[in-house]
Amino acid sequence: MVRVGIIGASGYAGGELVRYLLMHPKVEITYLASGTYEGRPLSDAYPSFLGQNLPLCEKYDAKHALEKADFFFQAQGNGIGMKVAPELISNGRKLIDIPADFRLKDLNQHKKFYAMNHTAPELVAESVYAISELHPKEIAKARLVANPGCYATSAILALAPLMKQKQICLGSVIVDSKSGVSGAGRSKLEVSGLFCEVNEGIKAYGVTTHRHTPEIEQELTLLAGEQVTLNFTPHLIPMNRGILSTAYASAGQGKTLPSASEMVELYKEFYAGKPFMQVLDCGKQPCTKNVLGTNFCHIGVVVDERTNRIIVTCAIDNMGKGAAGQAVQNMNLMLGFDETTGLMSPAVYP
Amino acid sequence: MVRVGIIGASGYAGGELVRYLLMHPKVEITYLASGTYEGRPLSDAYPSFLGQNLPLCEKYDAKHALEKADFFFQAQGNGIGMKVAPELISNGRKLIDIPADFRLKDLNQHKKFYAMNHTAPELVAESVYAISELHPKEIAKARLVANPGCYATSAILALAPLMKQKQICLGSVIVDSKSGVSGAGRSKLEVSGLFCEVNEGIKAYGVTTHRHTPEIEQELTLLAGEQVTLNFTPHLIPMNRGILSTAYASAGQGKTLPSASEMVELYKEFYAGKPFMQVLDCGKQPCTKNVLGTNFCHIGVVVDERTNRIIVTCAIDNMGKGAAGQAVQNMNLMLGFDETTGLMSPAVYP
Amino acid sequence: MVRVGIIGASGYAGGELVRYLLMHPKVEITYLASGTYEGRPLSDAYPSFLGQNLPLCEKYDAKHALEKADFFFQAQGNGIGMKVAPELISNGRKLIDIPADFRLKDLNQHKKFYAMNHTAPELVAESVYAISELHPKEIAKARLVANPGCYATSAILALAPLMKQKQICLGSVIVDSKSGVSGAGRSKLEVSGLFCEVNEGIKAYGVTTHRHTPEIEQELTLLAGEQVTLNFTPHLIPMNRGILSTAYASAGQGKTLPSASEMVELYKEFYAGKPFMQVLDCGKQPCTKNVLGTNFCHIGVVVDERTNRIIVTCAIDNMGKGAAGQAVQNMNLMLGFDETTGLMSPAVYP
Amino acid sequence: MVRVGIIGASGYAGGELVRYLLMHPKVEITYLASGTYEGRPLSDAYPSFLGQNLPLCEKYDAKHALEKADFFFQAQGNGIGMKVAPELISNGRKLIDIPADFRLKDLNQHKKFYAMNHTAPELVAESVYAISELHPKEIAKARLVANPGCYATSAILALAPLMKQKQICLGSVIVDSKSGVSGAGRSKLEVSGLFCEVNEGIKAYGVTTHRHTPEIEQELTLLAGEQVTLNFTPHLIPMNRGILSTAYASAGQGKTLPSASEMVELYKEFYAGKPFMQVLDCGKQPCTKNVLGTNFCHIGVVVDERTNRIIVTCAIDNMGKGAAGQAVQNMNLMLGFDETTGLMSPAVYP
């Protein structure tokens, strides 16, 4: 049993990590750090953990953390990973950073979008931006993994198969995403997060300015081999979990896209052997409910002959494949386990 | 007091019409047709009408309808308007058809999308496709009005100001819409409409094939003066009411779009003097909650300099501006009332 | 047109008052006080008011308030009414206090449940606890009205017809209430109010200790003519608006309750001539949806012969009959208008 | 690996059983019967099962079922268990019946509440009504288990510890329950089940007549050793899963109830060693969210000294401890596994 520690255990992502890891047969949670719940059981934050065997929460202390665990997740927030990573890594521990400290290779972009100076720039270079399906080998060798953003995961998985094809116009890409509310986290107390303000309404936010834009572009650019610049528009919808990204791309100048069934086939081939990727049959559309609480990703592919455009819909759980699920998948890769270990439970439905 | 009749009173659109008309100071509901609730009070269908003064429902009978009312709404379903319109119109009554019988001027399109033969083609030519803000004069003179679809209303209102400008590439338009569930109506009993199947999930449907596509294109083509072909993608989200349409358009070849603030100004000018159209200040995004239960339409405008694309978000209540509200607004125009009569109540919030 | 002022306009109850008053044909909103939105339009707090004609918000100032309006609502919070009432009342204004400053006649109870000293005890004695249906004459003559609590309104309306009957055992009364979340208001920012914490869950709170208990007991005791002590258990459920109270009472020692149909009749008689009270026919159950956004109250009555117990269910909108709706009904009574003026719009459904 | 078959796999309870059993390390699903999905993968009914290893659905055939599996669950509906049980049992198979065929020992009650004649009355006598915590030994020896109803489970678990105490008046018991909507199942297509009809509303139903009443009374009578007659009032609330039952009982004539903390202690002792039963500390209230998707049961206990009444709140997942979870727990007991096997995953939160 690998001894695992979680820094920032009382946030939504932390709690979700605990849930996944409690179901994992090869690891044991031996360390939980939470400033808010110091000295208390995590079930004070989440009574859903009553009856589970977990250590008490403690205030993060590097020395004690190093004694207690061999593998770490940081889920507390932006700016924490760069603080804790150097000491953990230099002491031979592996770390998965759930927030954004190590996602953007371009430090200027990081500074622009996160408004902070990076204090561990050398680790940015070393870390792996870890969409599990796209870089399994690099992840397996990594000491430090930057877990992708939830929106970014859905956008990249939706578009990755198109990036190496030369069929679409890279400048035409638009990603229109709709997310449940848990992505905002538990610690942000604002009027806009109140039940009554969210329930029975939808709105866009961060239009043209959302922080996940640069990581989507970074990764798609890498896949395409040339610069990808796109529009990403997130929307908040009244549900707890789930992201549906609807991605649009037009055929390149003078080209005609393959048919829908050919495109579905292309997607199925691209994701062959990837157990969490389910490309739906032609004519079917994914629903976020079907991946709720899981690490699965469902993808629907449509081609419009009238407009010569492809429309790809991609459903994930923002807390699952979009955060804790993918983090555990990455941990599996980093520890040499089968990547599905502890992750195959199907969605709670309905 | 104008005597008003509603055909199809027990569906969601019918019930919503009754609600609006009960608040209207210049009309009286004197006729309600509903096969399902024949001989019964409408409060059997909607206990929300307990305590209101309404006629009993009856089975539709043209002769009796003509005796009882001078102005009609048809809200029962597709294929009914073409049956009742000829007799009502020829007897000097005015009619607003909420479903789609008279929306598409091209009868082939109507047949293709609605799978039925039109039995009143001459009235299709005469009827006015009635986005109230765009054709108030034609509506004022009309005997027969085709009330626009809910998605179509939001898409057209979002894009109309751009159609006469020659700044955008007409071929670049994408409309990604998100709707509450009431649009499916009350009579369609399918597993997919059950609470548990809808709640906590989002999915796209009718991708590239939705029936509102041709009416959006018909109207935008008319406004632009040249053919507009676009992608329209509707999504179902877990709420009762509201549509948010997110529309994308790119600058025309070699052109640069005006700035966001200029674009907001352009929209404000376009909709000046239109009391239900609220173009939000630069940087603000509309939320469907703010128009719930009303005939208002809130619009947000963003321009992305990086991609040279405009993103317009448009929030309406699918049952209000998207159906019964706009129908009453059209009735006001047809009867020579101020267009806001009976329609100014603000949204129920939260 | 009576000039009306609202103190605490930017809270949920304040916003809801504005909504009702905008629909009212005989009053004009001439004064809006809100510390948070001082100098700004109320549409900054509630974009649902865009397009409405309203004064700017200002910081409460008694002198200015007296200049601007003749009738006031206080909706800001507990402890404010006792501060503003003396000056407003002594200057000939009438005031309806939505929170709890003037509800409890027993100042010890007030102190116990609200943890504050009362600074206007003489006005407590004068004020009328105003369930509109029970004390219309006193309300009509009042200068100062204590608007009842939302839960209290539903409980009292459910049980009032039984209190003068000597059929039930007064000691057997239990009220189990379920409420939407808007009752918590907009200014209370706690983790427990976040969308994700409320959605998809139900819990009881304030069991045996909720503040509305003493006002329910005070009013029922008054009606019964002897002390009523009961259990009141509120629950939060994942919806914005609505309270359903399920009240239980057993037959008195050695007595047998009338049949269900007799009890329904008794309730119908009790509320005869009360336009907002809808006692449902035998066998029907009220749903909060049917009163959403309104001042209506729907009541269902069942008698269980097996247990000799009556079960009364009472549905109101906590923001309507439970707050702003009843306040406007009380204003109508105080101003000599028909009590239904501006209040007859049916629920927004669905 | 025990070979397990599910009859009625495509309903909500069937799908939930599949989910639990896929997480179970000691059984294998080898047989799935569903008339609706005959010859198709279960992922056609629930795309959440894409990527899982499951047999195709087939039409139920006893001979084939007997070949394929050694242990069965029947989840199709009332009236099916009595048909399939005799052959399965007589061929040495064990069966857990999720619906109500074997719950009521009194066949007259069964006939009265389920309107059908029982065709396997001898098995009714043999079967065990299986609240796992109350009758583990009988369950371990049973060939045929009647899985309790969801409401009944919550009511019985809430009240069981009080039944042997002689402190409460048995005639005073009231159970007011609130349930998510999944209990209505997937096959019942009625207007009242549509998303828009359920969302944003609450209502009671089956007041004094609900089918779970007799099984609650049967079991509590057994525990108390004398007849218990009570009121049970179910309510539908707008969420997918979860039941909160609020149970009330008064002290017996001339008696005073123990204090709240003593009562909490009494409950903790009663459920000591029962891993799924979590009696909350004094002052805490359970929320259904904390048990969502699990077999856990959270209980809160309050005593009101003013009214000498105890109020017990009990939260379960109606699909978990209220159906499939308890069924798997019972299977564990019947197969000699630890009762927690495959059932310890915590709730998906938020």
| More confident position, A178 or A164 | A178
Lookup: tokens for B47: 């206990």
Q: Which residues of D touch A (CB under 8 A)?
A: 12, 15-16, 18-19, 22-23, 46-52, 182, 186, 200, 240-241, 275-276, 278, 280, 284, 286-287, 289-294, 296, 298, 344-350
- Active-site residues of C, by number, are 150
Q: Which of A12, A48, A187, A194 to mutate to test the interface with C (most CBs of C within 10 A)?
A: A194
Kindly tell me the sign of the dihedral angle through the C-alpha atoms of D163, D166, D168, D169: positive
Q: Tell me, what's the pLDDT at B164?
A: 84
CA dist C89 → C66, C95, C126, C272 (Å):
10, 7, 11, 34
Closest CB to D350: pick one of A12, A286, A298. A12
User: Rg of chain C over CA atoms, in angstroms?
Assistant: 20
Angle, to 10 degrees, between the axis of helix A325-334 and the axis of helix A12-22? 50
What would the pLDDT profile of B284-307 be if each residue is shown by its tens digit? 999 999 999 999 999 999 999 999
Burial call B290-322: b when 16+ CB within 10 Å, e when fewer: bbbbbbbbbbbbbbbeebbbbbbbbbbbbbbbb
Per the annotation, the verdict on B287 as an active-site residue is no
Confidence of residue C296 (pLDDT cuts 50, 70, 90): very high
Q: Which residues of B touch C (CB under 8 A)?
A: 12, 15-16, 18-19, 22-23, 46-52, 182, 186, 200, 240-241, 275-276, 278, 280, 284, 286-287, 289-294, 296, 298, 344-350
| Whole-angstrom distance, CA of residue A57 vs CA of residue A31 | 8
Residues sharing a CB contact under 8 Å with residue C126, sequence separation 6 or more, in sequence order: C142, C143, C144
| Whole-angstrom distance, CA of residue A97 vs CA of residue A71 | 11
Beta carbons of B77 and B8 less than 8 angstroms apart: yes
Q: What architecture is domain A2-126?
A: 3-Layer(aba) Sandwich (3.40)
Q: Which of C189, C195, C202, C236 to mutate to test the interface with A (most CBs of A within 10 A)?
A: C195
User: Residue A350 and residue D292: Cβ atoms within 8 Å?
Assistant: no
| Whole-angstrom distance, CA of residue D185 vs CA of residue D141 | 30
User: Residue D195 and residue B195: Cβ atoms within 8 Å?
Assistant: yes
- Report the pLDDT averaged over residues A127-155: 98
Burial call B192-227: b when 16+ CB within 10 Å, e when fewer: ebbbbbbbbbbbbebbbebbbbbbbbbbbeebbeee
Confidence of residue C165 (pLDDT cuts 50, 70, 90): confident
Residues of A in contact with D15 (CB under 8 A): 349
Burial call B39-72: b when 16+ CB within 10 Å, e when fewer: eebbbbbbbbbbbbebbebbebeeeebbebbbbb
**Residue C29 scores a pLDDT above 90:** yes
Residues of D in contact with B190 (CB under 8 A): 189
User: Residue A286 and residue B203: Cβ atoms within 8 Å?
Assistant: yes
Q: Which residue of D has its CA nearest to C305?
A: D208
Beta carbons of C310 and C257 less than 8 angstroms apart: yes
Closest CB to C48: pick one of B240, B276, B290. B290
Residues sharing a CB contact under 8 Å with residue B90, sequence separation 6 or more, in sequence order: none
Phi-psi group of C306: left, alpha or beta (phi > 0 → left; psi -120 to 50 → alpha; rest → beta): alpha
User: Residue D196 and residue B238: Cβ atoms within 8 Å?
Assistant: no
Phi/psi of residue A100, nearest 5 degrees: -105, 10
**Residue D279 scores a pLDDT above 90:** yes
Q: Tell me, what's the pLDDT at D205?
A: 98
In order along its 350 residues, chain B shows pLDDT tens digits of 999 999 999 999 999 999 999 999 999 999 999 999 999 999 999 999 999 999 999 999 999 999 999 999 999 999 999 999 999 999 999 999 999 999 999 999 999 999 999 999 999 999 999 999 999 999 999 999 999 999 999 999 999 999 988 899 999 999 999 999 999 999 989 999 999 999 999 999 999 999 999 999 999 999 999 999 999 999 999 999 999 999 999 999 899 999 999 999 999 999 999 999 999 999 999 999 999 999 999 999 999 999 999 999 999 999 999 999 999 999 999 999 999 999 999 999 99
Phi-psi group of A254: left, alpha or beta (phi > 0 → left; psi -120 to 50 → alpha; rest → beta): left
Q: Which residue of A has its CA nearest to D200?
A: A200
| DSSP string over A49-115 | GTTS--PPEE---HHHHHHH-SEEEE-S-TTTHHHHHHHHHHTT-EEEE-SSTTT-S-HHHHHHHH-
Q: Tell me, what's the pLDDT at B34?
A: 98
Q: Tell me, what's the pLDDT at B138?
A: 98
User: Residue A46 and residue D275: Cβ atoms within 8 Å?
Assistant: no
Q: Tell me, what's the pLDDT at C188?
A: 86
User: Residue C182 and residue B291: Cβ atoms within 8 Å?
Assistant: no
Q: Tell me, what's the pLDDT at D97?
A: 98
State the fold for domain D151-318: Dihydrodipicolinate Reductase; domain 2 (3.30.360)
> How many CB atoms lie under 10 A from the CB of residue D143?
17
- Report the pLDDT averaged over residues A117-146: 98
Q: Which residue of A has its CA nearest to C241?
A: A196
Q: In what order do the strands lie in the sheet with D277-279?
A: D203-204, D231-236, D174-179, D243-250, D309-316, D297-304, D277-279
| DSSP string over B230-270 | -EEEEEE-SSSS-EEEEEEEEBPTT--PPPHHHHHHHHHHH
Strands (E), D166-242: 174-179, 203-204, 231-236
The pairing of beta strand C144-146 with beta strand C203-204? unpaired
Q: How far is D343 from chain B (nearest CA, A)?
A: 23
Strands (E), chain A: 2-7, 27-33, 57-58, 71-74, 94-97, 128-129, 144-146, 174-179, 203-204, 231-236, 243-250, 277-279, 297-304, 309-316
- Report the pLDDT averaged over residues A125-130: 98
Q: Which of B22, B74, B12 is nearest to B53 (CA)?
A: B22
Domain C2-126 matches domain C151-318 at the CATH topology level = no
Angle, to 10 degrees, between the axis of helix D260-270 and the axis of helix D150-164? 110
- Per-domain boundaries in chain D: 2-126, 151-318
Q: Which of C37, C187, C194 to mutate to test the interface with A (most CBs of A within 10 A)?
A: C194
What would the pLDDT profile of D45-100 be if each residue is shown by its tens digit? 999 999 999 999 999 999 999 999 999 999 999 999 999 999 999 999 999 999 99
Q: How far is C300 from chain B (nearest CA, A)?
A: 12
What residue type is assigned to position A154 of the chain? S
Phi/psi of residue A167, nearest 5 degrees: -85, -30
What would the pLDDT profile of A166-206 be if each residue is shown by its tens digit? 899 999 999 999 999 999 999 989 999 999 999 999 999 99
On whether the pTM is more than 0.80, the answer is yes
What would the pLDDT profile of A252-265 be if each residue is shown by its tens digit? 989 999 999 999 99
Closest CB to C199: pick one of A186, A191, A195. A195
Closest CB to B244: pick one of A180, A203, A350. A203
| Whole-angstrom distance, CA of residue B320 vs CA of residue B294 | 5
Q: Tell me, what's the pLDDT at C164?
A: 84
User: Residue A298 and residue D241: Cβ atoms within 8 Å?
Assistant: no
Q: Which of A50, A237, A277, A313 to mutate to test the interface with D (most CBs of D within 10 A)?
A: A50
Q: Tell me, what's the pLDDT at D75?
A: 98
